[in-house]
Structure 1
Amino acid sequence: MEFPSTSATLETLPNGLSLILDPDPSAPVVSTQLWVETGSIHEGAHLGAGLSHFLEHMVFKGGGDFGPVELAESVQAAGGHWNAYTSFDRTVYYIDGPDTGLTTFLDVLCAMVFKPHLPESEFEKEKDVIRREIDMGLDDPDDRASRLLFSTVFSHDPRRHPVIGYRELFDSITYDDLRRYHRERYSPDHTCLCIAGNFDPDSLRQTIDRVFASLPRSASAEPLIPAEPVQLAPRTNRATFAVPASKVTLGWKIPALGHPDVPAFDLAAAMLGRGRSARLYRKLREERGLALEISSWSWSMANQIGIFAVSAEVQPDQRDALIAAIREELSAFSSSSFEDDMMKAKRQIAATQFRSLTTVSGRATDLASNWHEARDLDFTRRYLAQLEAVTAADVRRALATLTDSRESLTILDPEGVSAPSATRSPTRKRTEPETFTLANGTTIALLPDPKVPVVALQSAVRAGSTSETSQTAGINRLLAAAMPQATRHRSAEELANTLESLGASIGASAGNNSLLLQLAGLSPDLGTLVPLFGEVLSDPALDSDSIDREKASQLTSLRETLQDPLSVAFRHLRQRLFGRHGYGIPTLGNEDSVESLSRLSLAAHHSLHVRGPNLAVALAGDFDPEEARDLLSKAFNELPEGDPWHPEPSEILDPSEDVIHVDKKQAVLAIGYPGSAALDEHRHALRMLNEWASDMAGPLFTRIREDLGLAYQVGATQFHGHDTGLFAFYMATDPAQIELAESELMSEIGKLATGGIPDDAFERVRSTVLSATALDQQAPGSIARHAAIDLLFGLPASHHRELPGIYQKLTPAQVENAAAALLGTRKPVLIRVLPED
């Protein structure tokens, strides 16, 4: 299938602003994105200071006619979901939300990006926030490994520096530096405005002219970006960190985007390390057991050389053997026959690109990225055509350039470890879901949507944390990892080959209440995908070797979470609230319980829970309902019957407090209350309360982060259970400010308990929740997941479509009553995570 040509338009305003419009009336949502062509590589004399990232933070402090509170309130009132990010060569600001808020979104983006106040009174306060963010990055092993790689591969290229900057250089930024950088780099001729979704282009152009036409061009010169010299010898860089396993990457420089070898490198990366059937994964993880995890990737930018790399996690005692094995496999791969693998890789990449078209945000990002990289809105389609034309000889030629002298090896070891020696589908009327039940009790929902030729299958099994004990903690997570590996009729290689040859993917996860299996693929392959999905769910192989490998990975993930202050806080919070059973059991388990899990215990758990009465299945996307009904009936009809499994009632412990010490720099506070059940009458009101407590315009962010500068992270989170749930507040702060931060957070919680959401903010919060609901119901995978989980709790498969009407009817009094019932009836569980010193 050919990637569709875009119908979007590209034009340039007189002041140099690039404008991309992609009207699509199929859903009442829009994505509005401003891509400013400036990032960490453009900082000139301040290279390495993180000036671009700092400016991204500061523009949220108000602009034009909007103060900082008015910015957030205006976006919230219009139902917008906004954020920004900074990378090496761009800073992107975006607002997604209902089409009714488009004019507001444009006014806000223009004001904050091009006319920011940059208040001097906020300068040092926001600096403290970013200092905490820098500290958090230094506590993150993945961030450390990434920094190590880029600083090794590049010797002169500015991408050797972290986007957020180094602490000592960041501290040297002055207020004048910030204003000067904005004046020189934030101009319309450096910017692309991309809008996708439901709008009328003609009337929108008038609004855009009103908002953006008067902005002046920049008169400043482009900064000089040093060129990376040819690498003449191999490079090795190693560091140690508090990680349970070594993180290894072998990387090579490759040409910039646009070079004819780039598609060949992308295909080589997919063949070697994308998916379970990939060469490196199969041979070095599955067959030889050298790697805990392994993948390969290829990354190129326009006018900037890129990187081809193999990344892996490995037990330290197998690190050197794995490095040697990776080199051997790369050498052997070039001389092997891989035409079938290449066809599969082409399908995988094409499927990923097709899925990007299922949401307005994905479409806008694709178009703006095409402009940014190539000034060609159809660049994705042209690139996929180039990819399709790549031959095995092209791949071999490209891989031949990955010589020993151009290799860069980076190793992040645990502390104490020794060093080594076409046209979019026409919009159609949304079809109503259909639900039916098989004789064995399996409930199935069909949710057709012909917009894009993709399908998503989702099953939900009644299990989760409440089906575990202290002895089996983590069993659902391990079962979820082992199930998609192989079936009793297909080996791991056969299963992975079948899926990836179709550009399909399968995965499983475990949550508080369920075990989930999901599959995504292309519509023409439904006849193959449904039987395979049923086979994986009902008849997994669960072989001991596979379980041992996944167990090692789970233990590594568990040990990493035990080093993350926020994860530690919530782990203890749940145990203090629910005890050491039910929702108090950590999803990853503990080291003793995971070590004790066996094939027999996983098979018994699977047999108990994967039965018709415990199972709900949903199919969403482009399919023929009659064909799908027949396929799904055949795939699940043989599941065993029996009585449905029901969890034991939850136990809520008395309120308590605890202090946990970890060897990290920041402090974390977690405050938890028993939340609502999945069918509780207050659950929708608490969604509103959660949004108010988490939003940038809400009381926690504005008071604790903005006014007082006490926290980098502050917000709320919740989950619903079968008979209770969790509603929690969290905050990451400076250890020296923990007492004041805790006092302020408890004060704000007290205000929520007595007043709920203020009347003047209620409609803004409602708009945000409504737009989040609309944005979450675009992609087939998300729709199928909602439907399957709702069916499991006895709700109709169409319940997610009823949510907008439910939120429209909520009143401030209902939310106030829910807040009082949640927060005003008992003391919370309070967990403090502090540095060891």
Structure 2
Amino acid sequence: MKQVIAAILLIVSFSIQAFPKIKDDPSLKRIVLDNGLVVILKEKHDIPMVAMQIWVKAGSVTEGKYMGTGLSHYFEHMLGKRTTHRKTEQYYNDIRKMGGSDANAYTTYDRTVYLSTIRSEFIYDGIDALSDMVQNSIFDEEESQKEIDVILNEINMGEDSPDRYLWQQFAQMVYTTHPYKYPVIGYRHLFKSLTKKDMLEYYATMYSPNNMILVLVGDFKTSALEKHVRKAFKGFKRKKLPLIYIPKEPKQLSMRKVVKTFKINTTKVIMGYPTVDALSSDVAPLDVLALILGQGKTSRLYRRLRDREQLVQSVSASSWTPKDMGLFEIGFELDHKNLDKTSRIVLEEIERIKRKGVTRKELKRAKQKTRVGAVRQLQTLGGYARSLAYGEFIGNIHYDQYYLEKVRHVTAKDIRRVAKTYLTHHTLNMMILVPEKDHEKLVPAKALVKKAKGEIEKIVLKNGLTLLLKKDDSVPLVAIHASLKGGYRYENEGNQGIYNFLSDTLLKGTRTKSSRKIAELIENSGGTLYAASDSNLFTIRGSFLKENFPGGFKLLLDVLSNANFPKREISKVKKDILSAVKQRDDQIWSASRYHLRRIRYKGYSYAFNGIGTKDSISKISSRDLSKAYQQMMAPNNMVLAIFGDFNKRQVLRLIKRNSRFNKRKAKLPTVQNVPPLHNIVQETYYNKENQRQSIIKILFDGPNYYNKDKYPLMVLTHVFSGIGSRLFLDLRSKRTLAYATGGVYQGKEDIGLFLFYIGTEPAKKKEAIKGLFENITKVKEELITNRELEIAKNSAIGRI
């Protein structure tokens, strides 16, 4: 058995998108106090009132070792309860005395906000009260328990609310890795596990002036108010902020669909697609698209689904763009019997926009309504304060002006482009909540599995091609997935990266079609087609609407037979790959993965990184790619799966006509199987300067992908990974030794491995490693509980 430990230390930094310069506003001032508190002052003398907001950069995604507890939301309830200068509930009573009838607070994924609007004559008292609340709050045991009970009731209410339940189930389906999948309010069992020590530690860490934004908008004189703000927050000491690891959501490769039951009378549905973050230039066109598609009585979906077809009780569309990956959502409520037809119509309307675009009238109306909505919030002092605070929060206090300008320049081409880019078949997520009374209309899970197995037809053609066909006409889509033996297992030192290069250039030209023509055929059909490569496999995936499938399948067969790798296109792709090679070690987790691979598989092709090296990529030519293509791309080396609403005879006829592909025989390079290593312990360190993180990875050899012992290890993955898992509860929640933990089985054709990982601070590295081995020893010596086993098995099945 071999154990490899790789410790990688790296400072993580990022840059914010540059915004165009906005004309100076003499009534607006931004200052940063010595303690790091950002203060934004905006004079508006329309009415004798002042809006006060303080934004704390603490939300559910920043909870670190307390992820999933809802700790940020807890402090939304607790701040202002009592301070060193104010009795219980006195803060909000004082604010009300100042005319603050709207005093409130809210928590989101990435911030907690405290807000009120008071009469301007009390502004100095208001600032003193706000300063007292954030600096001097006392967390009385009795008051804390009251709020804990309130929050538990809120969790109950959320679980009883079909809309909240639907959203949370949808978020968990879309976000498989990113903490947006966790509810802001937290999970009951994790929230109840918090101790007073946990709460005070989080407050002391996150409620720091250098983690806050104070915004004041209204009837005041800036110079005098600035002096008072400096005085009120003078004693508020800057603190060291924790290093928060937020994993990036991996790219979605195929459609996801989940059906749940609930005590409701009508079926509720969310259809959604991953999109962009708040700083993307596509935010504005996505907002305009949402309005055209499903906002208001003139929107396409409302007119067709509600007015014309009368299939739904309600329908809407929206684009949500937070700090990280956002979503384009379409929601509707209807009788269960109308579900299939409605879903098809929604997809048809999306495809219609992709093919034909939108009218000038639609675009003008949508842009006008989008701009009016953005401007309308500026009519109130609170709305204006929110606009400035949000802009500061994401990088520029003038963000709303920048956004309005982007909306003004949105074109019909932009709408069509973002629809084609983001609203694709393979990235569709569909969460359906059906009434319990309709449960009998659904096929039980076990029956679904059996039925699915019976419906998949396996055909092996004379040329060696294995076909897996499954007819499904519930949605007018056809999905294609071709798998071939390939990948960096079949590479050598001189050509490493060639299969990844091949995947990036496969669709860049055939004997009869240019790269541009191929792209146009795919985009005009509203479909998708792309290639990818990993250690053992080369894959080609695609999806097309039923009516466009014959053309899409013909294009796939042309690519399989006649790809010609034009030198001009190869040169472009080569530049991109060399840039990726250069950046490979910039990311701490990918650097640690590559280093570990080099150590364990030294002397074998699994040690390669997949994208190649500067030397190997520079030497690969169009002829080299064509040779690798000819050796791999053959029917006797392919399994082709086609699922959806297609004609079997048509598929077989099109394959039969493709003589060039049918005659080819695979001639892959000979590979060496990696031998297992016994009784060897090896420790290796890979260091980066400016140490702020340590990534620890411990690897054990395991069974290959075909060995039945992989199944217990797949379950063990979920014993060690995720919120509530052993490593999470012990190393992260209890001992605070890590911000990221997990264990995962990875099976390859000839060998497997089980990998443990920890992300921690350098000072805690040794203790974290010790704790990890203690957990490994414990699971070897003691049986896991039945409850733990059931949770892990269900989680493993859900992942499949």
Describe the superposition over 1:307-332 as per-residue Cα deviations: whole angstroms up to 9, x where unpaired: 00111111111112111111111111
SS in 2 for 1:224: coil
SS in 1 for 2:215: strand
Would you say 1:318 and 2:338 are equivalent positions? yes
Contact 1:5 1:381 in 2 (8 A): no
Q: TM-score, normalised by structure 2?
A: 0.51
Q: Displacement of 1:95 after TM fit?
A: 1.5
Contact 1:80 1:101 in 2 (8 A): no
Describe the superposition over 1:220-253 as per-residue Cα deviations: whole angstroms up to 9, x where unpaired: 3231111111111111122221222111111000
The alpha-carbon distance between structure 1 residues 382 and 59, as it changes in their structure 2 partners (threshold 3 A), is same
Match of 1:73 among 73, 87, 93: 93
Describe the superposition over 1:499-519 as per-residue Cα deviations: whole angstroms up to 9, x where unpaired: xxxxxxxxxxxxxxxxxxxxx
SS in 2 for 1:68: coil
Contact 1:95 1:105 in 2 (8 A): no
Q: Displacement of 1:93 after TM fit?
A: 0.2
**Structure 1 partner of 2:62:** 42
**Structure 1 partner of 2:193:** 172
SS in 2 for 1:61: coil
Match of 1:252 among 248, 273, 292: 273
**Structure 1 partner of 2:143:** 122
**Structure 1 partner of 2:747:** none
State how 1:383-532 maps to structure 2 within 5 Å: 383-401=403-421, 402-418=423-439
Distance 2:374 2:89 in 1: 38
**Structure 2 partner of 1:189:** 210
**Structure 2 partner of 1:733:** none
Contact 2:50 2:217 in 1 (8 A): yes
Would you say 1:204 and 2:225 are equivalent positions? yes
Q: Displacement of 1:420 after TM fit?
A: 6.1
**Structure 1 partner of 2:235:** 214
Q: TM-score, normalised by structure 1?
A: 0.49
Contact 1:34 1:194 in 2 (8 A): yes
**Structure 2 partner of 1:108:** 129
Distance 2:316 2:404 in 1: 22
Distance 1:13 1:252 in 2: 41
Q: Give 2:351's aligned amino acid.
A: S
Describe the superposition over 1:613-654 as per-residue Cα deviations: whole angstroms up to 9, x where unpaired: xxxxxxxxxxxxxxxxxxxxxxxxxxxxxxxxxxxxxxxxxx
Larger displacement relative to structure 2 (239-248 or 86-95): 239-248
Q: Give 2:388's aligned amino acid.
A: L
Q: Give 1:298's aligned amino acid.
A: S
Match of 1:233 among 254, 273, 278: 254
Distance 1:99 1:160 in 2: 41
State how 1:424-823 maps to structure 2 within 5 Å: none
Q: Give 2:166's aligned amino acid.
A: A
Contact 2:357 2:415 in 1 (8 A): no
Describe the superposition over 1:68-92 as per-residue Cα deviations: whole angstroms up to 9, x where unpaired: 2322332222222311000000000
Distance 1:415 1:106 in 2: 52
Match of 1:333 among 349, 353, 364: 353
SS in 2 for 1:227: coil
Distance 1:363 1:390 in 2: 24
Q: Give 2:207's aligned amino acid.
A: Y
Q: Displacement of 1:298 after TM fit?
A: 0.2
The alpha-carbon distance between structure 1 residues 420 and 305, as it changes in their structure 2 partners (threshold 3 A), is farther
Would you say 1:349 and 2:374 are equivalent positions? no
Match of 2:170 among 138, 141, 149: 149
Distance 1:133 1:257 in 2: 29
Q: Displacement of 1:4 after TM fit?
A: 9.6
SS in 1 for 2:337: helix
SS in 2 for 1:292: strand
Q: Give 2:94's aligned amino acid.
A: S
Contact 1:232 1:405 in 2 (8 A): yes
**Structure 2 partner of 1:373:** 394
Match of 2:41 among 21, 42, 45: 21
SS in 1 for 2:321: strand
Distance 1:221 1:83 in 2: 27
Q: Give 1:247's aligned amino acid.
A: K
Identity %: 33
Distance 2:144 2:357 in 1: 59
Distance 2:107 2:357 in 1: 41
Distance 2:430 2:220 in 1: 50
Would you say 1:86 and 2:86 are equivalent positions? no
Contact 1:80 1:105 in 2 (8 A): no
Match of 1:163 among 184, 187, 202: 184
Q: Displacement of 1:186 after TM fit?
A: 0.7
- Please provide the CA RMSD for this pair: 1.7
Distance 1:109 1:155 in 2: 38
Contact 1:156 1:226 in 2 (8 A): yes
Distance 2:179 2:402 in 1: 29
Contact 1:32 1:194 in 2 (8 A): yes
Q: Displacement of 1:114 after TM fit?
A: 2.4
Q: Give 2:300's aligned amino acid.
A: R
Q: Displacement of 1:348 after TM fit?
A: 0.2
Contact 2:370 2:407 in 1 (8 A): no
Contact 1:253 1:308 in 2 (8 A): yes
SS in 2 for 1:208: helix
How many matched pairs? 417
Q: Displacement of 1:180 after TM fit?
A: 0.4
Would you say 1:95 and 2:116 are equivalent positions? yes
The alpha-carbon distance between structure 1 residues 117 and 203, as it changes in their structure 2 partners (threshold 3 A), is same
Describe the superposition over 1:460-485 as per-residue Cα deviations: whole angstroms up to 9, x where unpaired: xxxxxxxxxxxxxxxxxxxxxxxxxx
Match of 2:305 among 272, 278, 284: 284
Q: Displacement of 1:122 after TM fit?
A: 2.5
Contact 1:64 1:112 in 2 (8 A): no
Q: Give 1:116's aligned amino acid.
A: S
**Structure 1 partner of 2:767:** none
Q: Give 1:224's aligned amino acid.
A: Y
SS in 1 for 2:224: helix
Match of 1:140 among 161, 174, 189: 161
Distance 2:278 2:92 in 1: 37
Distance 1:285 1:213 in 2: 58
SS in 2 for 1:232: coil
| Runs of at least 5 residues in structure 1 that lack an aligned partner in the other structure | 422-837
SS in 1 for 2:78: helix
Contact 1:247 1:413 in 2 (8 A): yes
Q: Give 1:39's aligned amino acid.
A: G
Distance 1:399 1:49 in 2: 36
Distance 1:69 1:230 in 2: 47
| Runs of at least 5 residues in structure 2 that lack an aligned partner in the other structure | 1-21, 444-800
SS in 2 for 1:309: strand
**Structure 1 partner of 2:318:** 297
Would you say 1:273 and 2:294 are equivalent positions? yes
**Structure 1 partner of 2:245:** 224
The alpha-carbon distance between structure 1 residues 154 and 138, as it changes in their structure 2 partners (threshold 3 A), is same
**Structure 2 partner of 1:54:** 74
Q: Displacement of 1:5 after TM fit?
A: 7.6
Q: Displacement of 1:337 after TM fit?
A: 4.3
SS in 2 for 1:60: coil
